[in-house]
């Protein structure tokens, strides 16, 4: 498996797999197969895939560490960019189908509805992460500042979950919210445990 992950074809294959949800949605739009309310279905689906890819990105480090497969790290930036891709399509779908690209109405809607405000905040925070997801950005910012900036992904995960929770609160349907909350709790909890272990190890050196 480790050797396969290092193959030149591995990245293009992962790229194509990441595009499959978008391709499937585009196909269903083309054949008018998104149900009675295709606009809402497209907005909801792209939002769901944003959360799914966010969970996948956050799962890379735990999987890499637990399985002792450092080769997984080479896919993390690509997966992160797909989070941004799907949230951008999600935002464009909302702006187009719900608001008709009326900037004034979009601004009012963001101000009036908390769940849209939180979702938009997550998009804003994701933007600098996407813009600095290349090697030159690390050199310009410095490794420490770059790493600090990219820790915003944890805040973004919280905002994304809150956005989803408030959106589902209107229909009193929280089943999927609890699933994402459990996944994110495990992924973020694992990081807290690792941080505590590292802190304990460092403190024991000076005893």
pLDDT above 70: residue 65: yes
Q: How many domains does the chain have?
A: 1
Residue 55 forms part of a structural domain: yes
pLDDT digits (tens, 9 = 90+) for 93-138: 999 999 999 999 999 999 999 999 999 999 999 999 999 999 899 9
Can you tell me which residue has the tokens 């809607």?
109
Residue 75 forms part of a structural domain: yes
pLDDT digits (tens, 9 = 90+) for 1-46: 788 888 999 999 999 999 999 999 999 999 999 988 999 999 999 9
Identify the pLDDT of residue 201.
81
Q: Which residues of 28-39 are buried (b: 16+ CB within 10 A; e: fewer)?
A: beeeeebeeeee
In this structure, the number of other CB atoms found within 10 A of the CB of residue 90 comes to 22
pLDDT digits (tens, 9 = 90+) for 144-168: 999 999 999 999 999 999 999 999 9
Residue 17 forms part of a structural domain: yes
Q: Two tokens at 68?
A: 């002792």
Residue range(s) defining the domain that contains residue 156: 2-199
Residue 61 forms part of a structural domain: yes
Residue 108 forms part of a structural domain: yes
| Statement: the pTM of the whole predicted model exceeds 0.85 | yes
Report residue 79's pLDDT band, with 50, 70 and 90 as the boundaries.
very high
Residue 42 forms part of a structural domain: yes
Can you tell me which residue has the tokens 């294959």?
13
| Contacts of residue 135, Cβ cutoff 8 Å, sequence gap at least 6 | none
């Amino acid at each position: 498996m480790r050797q396969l992950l290092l193959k030149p074809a591995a990245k293009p294959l992962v790229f194509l797999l990441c595009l499959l949800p978008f391709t499937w949605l585009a196909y269903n739009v083309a054949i008018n197969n998104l149900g009675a309310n295709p606009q809402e279905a497209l907005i909801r689906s792209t939002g769901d895939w944003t959360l799914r890819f966010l969970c996948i990105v956050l799962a890379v480090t735990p999987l890499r560490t637990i399985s002792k497969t450092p080769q997984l790290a080479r896919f993390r930036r690509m997966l992160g960019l797909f989070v941004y891709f799907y949230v951008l399509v999600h935002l464009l779908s909302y702006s187009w189908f719900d608001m008709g690209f009326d900037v004034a109405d979009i601004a009012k809607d963001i101000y009036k509805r908390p769940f849209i405000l939180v979702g938009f905040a997550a998009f804003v925070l994701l933007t600098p992460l996407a813009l600095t997801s290349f090697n030159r950005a690390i050199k310009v910012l410095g490794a420490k500042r770059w790493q600090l900036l990219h820790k915003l992904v944890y805040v973004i995960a919280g905002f994304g979950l809150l956005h989803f929770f408030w959106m589902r609160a209107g229909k009193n349907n929280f089943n999927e919210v609890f699933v994402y909350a459990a996944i994110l709790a495990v992924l973020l909890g694992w990081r807290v445990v690792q941080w505590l272990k590292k802190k304990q190890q460092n403190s024991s050196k000076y005893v």
